[in-house]
């Protein structure tokens, strides 16, 4: 059975299956297997008990999408979350489940402009994701109408109870129509939550995912708090600072696996990708290379990593935080085998801190926070290692075949100049600070430096460069191109960045989940039924460089037509 068939068997529509395919989900989680069929096949309310990060959003989000009527402008689903960070996260996830449907989704939370929310609500949306306080404000102002509500979701109900929102929840529930389905999700079930369910829910079914007893041995566990856009740079620094880095790097989806593996290869590391779309012969070939250490970094999804049995891994790195504590323990258990201590490293964004603490609590782990190495530290360490390696060669006496070259050079130049020149020749830009881009602490404002990548650049995590077969000759300019993509693919305009227009084509950067959707929408709409928009590959990712004097493209472009392949910028 294929991965998509596993979701199809739950009863999801083709549009939802399309969204799942684009996101790269490989198989449904336990809460999804239990919840989705119930939501699609009967009319009962649902109480779901599962830990944070078990895939609850998809469990309720995908079936809700299948039951929303498009283009009504009326609120049909209201999802309540305890914090603004979670509200934004859930709204983004719901957006990714649309599968080409014209469904408006709006996050509503305190701290965001009322005017902006008023405009969106007046225009009309089908799904609201909000925090209790701001939802009550809109209900009191009568800017939020719930007359057509079909679904009411309480996400992380116990957390809202702990934060003192229980009275607000009851007030909001009292203002919703009786004919609706209520879905309540909570990691624990304190008596107050049970009372809430009994008071406001009709006949309901309880869905419970049991937490397994988890333990972790022989693994040193570390986490780094970084911005999403800095994850790749952080990974490169960790690889460079370690004397040996023979590792599995985990991402949550196939798309992220491919993007990360390609970026590592471009940076000069021996990396490979493995996921559910890799054929069995190719998988066997990659694993053989990995076991022989011809590939030292294997980027994988959880499902694809099953059956990989390698005892001498030095590291397991969670590039994406796993769905649940069970997945975390399963991942990091791949290091620290055969009596050897390994290191497990996890990247989190500030909004994922609570989820990591939940993983730590359930798995009974000790995960300590560390700081990423600075550029000066990295360069100093590299120089120290080179000295150590040269000392080992001298002690071993393994240099006789090059002695005549050394004698010849020393006859012409001082010894220190000869050694420095040889190091420069052998290691080139290894000691250059420009090899690394700057990393800023989460929450702090960024200062522009020469080493910082442009905002929303393709090198950053999750950003895709699109090639669009429209240009100035098609009367296209940046605002028109953004409007075209926005209206046809229903993608928010602020996600379309770094638009560059040439005579016959254009470029734009978008998050890769939106990119997959945009490419699908514009498939077969170009000249001769060719794709109008595709992902820019290889050299096409860079715009043509300007001639300093004339400002015109270099000779690799046809100056009149703008055709030809742009030269690729040098990567560091």
Q: Where are the domains of the chain?
A: 3-208, 219-369, 375-435, 457-572
Cα gap 165→308, rounded to integer Å: 46
Distance CA(134)–CA(114), nearest Å, equals 9
Helix (H, G, I), strand (E, B) or coil at 482: helix
Q: Give the chain's residues under pLDDT 50.
A: 213, 445-446, 448-461, 539-572
pLDDT score, position 2 = 61
- Measured at the CA of 313, the angle between CA 311 and CA 316, to 5 degrees, comes to 125
* Strand 463-468 relative to strand 506-511, pairing: antiparallel
Coil, strand or helix at 546: strand
Both tokens of residue 498? 């770094």
H runs (alpha helix) in 201-343: 231-241, 254-266, 280-291, 302-305, 325-332
Contact 434, 451 (CB under 8 A): yes
The pLDDT assigned to 359 comes to 85
Q: At 285, give phi and psi (nearest 5°).
A: -65, -45
CATH topology identical between 3-208 and 457-572:
no
Look at residue 183 and give its three-state secondary structure.
strand
In Å, what is the CA distance from 377 to each residue of 169, 230, 454, 562?
51, 18, 25, 44
CA–CA dist 226, 233 (Å, integer): 10
Cα–Cα dist 468/482, whole Å: 11
pTM for this one? 0.50
- DSSP per-residue codes, 487-534: HHH---GGG-EEEEE-SS-EEEEEEHHHHHHHHHHTTT-SGGG--SEE
Phi-psi region of 549 (alpha: psi -120 to 50; beta: other; left: phi over 0): alpha
| Domain 3-208, CATH | 3.40.50.300
Name the strand (E) or helix (H) holding 56. Answer: helix 56-67
Q: Is 521 exposed, middle or buried (0-12, 13-18, 19+ CB in 10 A)?
A: middle
Catalogue the E-assigned strands of 161-218.
Answer: 181-186, 204-208
**Rounded to an integer, what distance in angstroms lies between the CA atom of residue 381 and that of residue 98?**
48
Asked whether the beta carbons of 275 and 302 are under 8 A apart, the reply is no
**pLDDT value at position 242?**
86
Lookup result for tokens 């999403």:
228
Query: Which CATH superfamily includes the segment(s) 457-572?
Result: RRM (RNA recognition motif) domain (3.30.70.330)
Distances (CA, A) of 548 to 65, 545, 552: 52, 9, 8
Identify the pLDDT of residue 567: 36
Q: At what angle do helices 14-23 and 56-67 cross, to 10 degrees?
A: 150
- pLDDT for 129 equals 95
Cβ-based neighbours of 447, under 8 Å, separated by 6 or more: 440
Q: What is the DSSP letter of 538?
A: G
Report the C-alpha dihedral over residues 544, 549, 550, 556, rounded to 10 degrees.
Answer: -30
The candidate with the shortest Cα–Cα distance to 298, out of 311, 281, 315, is: 315
Taking only the tens place, the pLDDT of each residue in 170-193 is 999 999 999 999 999 988 888 888
> Alpha-carbon distance 300 to 249, whole Å?
6
What pLDDT sits at residue 441? 67
Q: Exposed/middle/buried for 196, CB within 10 Å: 0-12, 13-18, 19+?
A: buried
Is the CATH code 3.40.50.150 the one for domain 219-369?
A: no
Helix (H) or strand (E) holding 134: helix 132-141
Half-sphere exposure of 570 (CA within 13 A, CB side): 6
Output the pLDDT for position 393.
79
Q: Which of 211, 193, 210, 212 is nearest to 47 (CA)?
A: 193
pLDDT at residue 562 in the model = 41
- Tokens representing residue 45 in the block: 């309310």
């Amino acid at each position: 059975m294929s991965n998509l068939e596993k979701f199809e068997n739950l009863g999801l529509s083709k549009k939802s299956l399309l969204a799942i395919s684009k996101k790269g989900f490989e198989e449904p989680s336990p809460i999804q297997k239990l919840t989705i069929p119930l939501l699609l096949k009967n009319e009962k309310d649902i109480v779901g008990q599962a830990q944070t990060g078990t895939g609850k959003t998809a469990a309720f989000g995908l079936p809700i999408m299948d039951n929303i009527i498009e283009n009504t402008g009326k609120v049909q689903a209201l999802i309540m979350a305890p914090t603004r960070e979670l509200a934004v996260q859930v709204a983004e996830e719901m957006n990714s489940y649309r599968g080409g449907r014209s469904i408006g989704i709006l996050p509503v939370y305190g701290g965001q402009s009322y005017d902006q929310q008023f405009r969106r609500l007046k225009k009309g949306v089908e799904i609201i994701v909000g925090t209790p306080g701001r939802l009550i404000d809109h209900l009191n102002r009568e800017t939020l109408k719930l007359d057509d509500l079909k679904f009411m979701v309480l996400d992380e109900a116990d957390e809202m109870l702990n934060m003192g929102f229980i009275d607000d929840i009851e007030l909001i529930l009292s203002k919703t129509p009786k004919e609706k389905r209520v879905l309540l999700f909570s990691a624990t079930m304190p008596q107050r939550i049970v009372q809430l369910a009994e008071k406001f829910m009709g006949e309901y079914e309880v869905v419970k995912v049991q937490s397994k007893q988890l333990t972790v041995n022989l693994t040193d566990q570390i986490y780094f708090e970084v911005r999403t856009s800095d994850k790749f740079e952080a990974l490169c620094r960790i690889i460079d600072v370690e004397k040996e880095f023979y590792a599995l790097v985990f991402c949550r989806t196939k798309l992220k696996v491919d993007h990360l593996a390609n970026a590592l290869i471009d940076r000069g590391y021996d990396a490979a990708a493995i996921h559910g779309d890799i054929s069995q012969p190719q998988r066997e070939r990659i694993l053989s290379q990995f076991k022989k250490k011809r590939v030292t970094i294997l980027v994988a999804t959880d499902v694809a990593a099953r059956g990989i049995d390698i005892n001498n891994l030095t590291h397991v790195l969670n590039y994406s935080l796993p769905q649940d504590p069970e997945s975390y323990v399963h991942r990091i258990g791949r290091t620290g085998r055969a009596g050897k201590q390994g290191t497990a490293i996890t990247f989190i964004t500030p909004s994922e801190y609570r989820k990591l603490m939940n993983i730590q609590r359930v798995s009974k782990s000790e995960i300590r926070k560390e700081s990423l190495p600075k550029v000066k530290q990295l360069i100093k360490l590299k120089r120290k290692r080179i000295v150590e390696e040269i000392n080992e060669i001298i002690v071993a006496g393994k240099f006789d075949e090059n002695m005549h070259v050394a004698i010849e050079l020393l006859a012409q130049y001082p010894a220190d100049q000869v050694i420095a020149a040889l190091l420069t020749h052998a290691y080139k830009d290894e000691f250059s600070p420009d090899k690394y881009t700057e990393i800023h602490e989460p929450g702090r404002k960024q200062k522009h430096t020469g080493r910082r990548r442009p905002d929303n650049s393709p090198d950053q995590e999750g950003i895709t460069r699109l090639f669009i077969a429209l240009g100035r000759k098609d009367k296209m300019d940046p605002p028109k191109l953004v409007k075209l993509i926005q209206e046809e693919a229903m993608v928010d305009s602020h996600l379309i960045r770094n638009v560059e227009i040439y005579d016959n084509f254009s470029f734009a950067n978008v998050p890769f989940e939106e990119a997959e959707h945009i490419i699908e929408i514009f498939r077969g709409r170009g000249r001769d039924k060719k794709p109008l928009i595709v992902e820019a590959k290889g050299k096409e990712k860079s715009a043509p460089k300007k001639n300093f004097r004339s400002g015109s493209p270099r000779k690799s472009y046809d100056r009149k037509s703008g055709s030809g392949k742009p030269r690729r910028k040098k990567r560091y």
